[in-house]
Amino acid sequence: MNGPEAILKEAASVASKREYRDFKNWQQKNGLNGVTEDVLLAYMNQLSARFSPNSLWAKWSMLKSCLEIKESVQIRRFQKVIAFLKRKNERYSPRKAKVLSKEQVERFLLDAPDDLWLLAKIVTISGIFGCCRCDELLSLAMNDVEDMGKYVIVTLRQTKNLTTRRFTITDDGCSFQPCTFYRKYVNLRPPRTEHLRFFLTCRHGKCISLNAGHHTIGAVPKQIDKFLGLKEPELYTGRFRRTGATIVVDAGGDILSLKRAGGWKSSEIAMSYVDDSINNKIEMSKKLFPGKESTNATPLSSASAASTSGDGSISTISSSKFCITGNNNCTMVFNIYDY
């Protein structure tokens, strides 16, 4: 195997090879030879009729990497293709997965019977408290979860950005008892299963020595949707990351808190969750036209403040711009310094 093929085998994924193969088949079908900017522009234009702008960017990225390695094409010089993709992306609003609200999550955890829904409850609690991806939940091992008594520490070792992330689960402030669910699940695990993953398959209220698969964990949001009787269960994907992030923002968390919760490095990604928060928009709208507070106190158009000089005498300072309204049963102390 020659040099470029060896590099491609290591760097390119199966999806990238498939995109390259589809491009070459399209060239052969249309009788086109060589890789030019016009050829690539015509190919991407044809794909735009079937794929969204986000998918076009992904396909372009994979195809570009293969062309640069296999055919030594300088893709960076093809600015027309980049301009075409940018125009397609204008005013495009991607269809995002729906998220569960805090009230819906609490209703599911409190009302669903444990003998049928215990695994789904543990997956939900872990996914929301840690803003976890599905793969991060799937890779959890037994030694990644540590019970400290008042709280549980969870360590995510296999993350998307290859950095270890930790989060805690606590009963404080919860209408349900997440640590209680955790301990109940751990007690149901069969003996001598420490070598298996943390999430095992549960059937009829019992855990068996079989790792829970990707589809089992990924289907939990849809199962919750069906249990609660919500509409469009297909729009609830297997990720609690958006649900956890939205709950953090609705609870009053700022961008820094959100980035710490989800392990994000980009503020732009964190801002997208803040923008999606309905509670955050409601609080902002309240600040636009605040109503006048009702009060029985008589507004003061002018006021006097007493100051003590160095010799102990008291002088009075008046100001026509000094006005205090809407304060009842309170004590105010003003320290006025004359520099």
Enter the DSSP assignment of 33.
-
Which pLDDT band holds residue 274 (cuts at 50, 70, 90)? low
Encoding tokens for residue 208? 């068996």
**Model confidence over 79-106: pLDDT tens digits?**
888 899 888 888 777 666 678 888 999 9
List of residues 6+ apart from 324 with CB closer than 8 A: 300, 303, 332
Task: Give the lowest-confidence range in 43-47, 149-153, 202-206, 301-305.
Answer: 301-305
Tell me, what's the pLDDT at 319? Answer: 46
Q: Where are the domains of the chain?
A: 3-89, 102-284, 295-339
Instruction: Write out the H or E segment, with its range, that includes residue 327.
Output: none
Q: How far is CA 285 from CA 102, 215, 243, 279, in A?
A: 21, 41, 23, 10
**Model confidence over 215-248: pLDDT tens digits?**
899 889 888 888 998 877 666 665 788 888 888 8
21 or 295: which leads in pLDDT? 21
List of residues 6+ apart from 93 with CB closer than 8 A: none
pLDDT at 162 over 60: yes
**Model confidence over 45-80: pLDDT tens digits?**
999 999 988 889 889 888 888 888 888 888 777 888
CATH fold label, 102-284: hpI Integrase; Chain A (1.10.443)
Give CA angle at 105 (103, 109), nearest 5°. 115
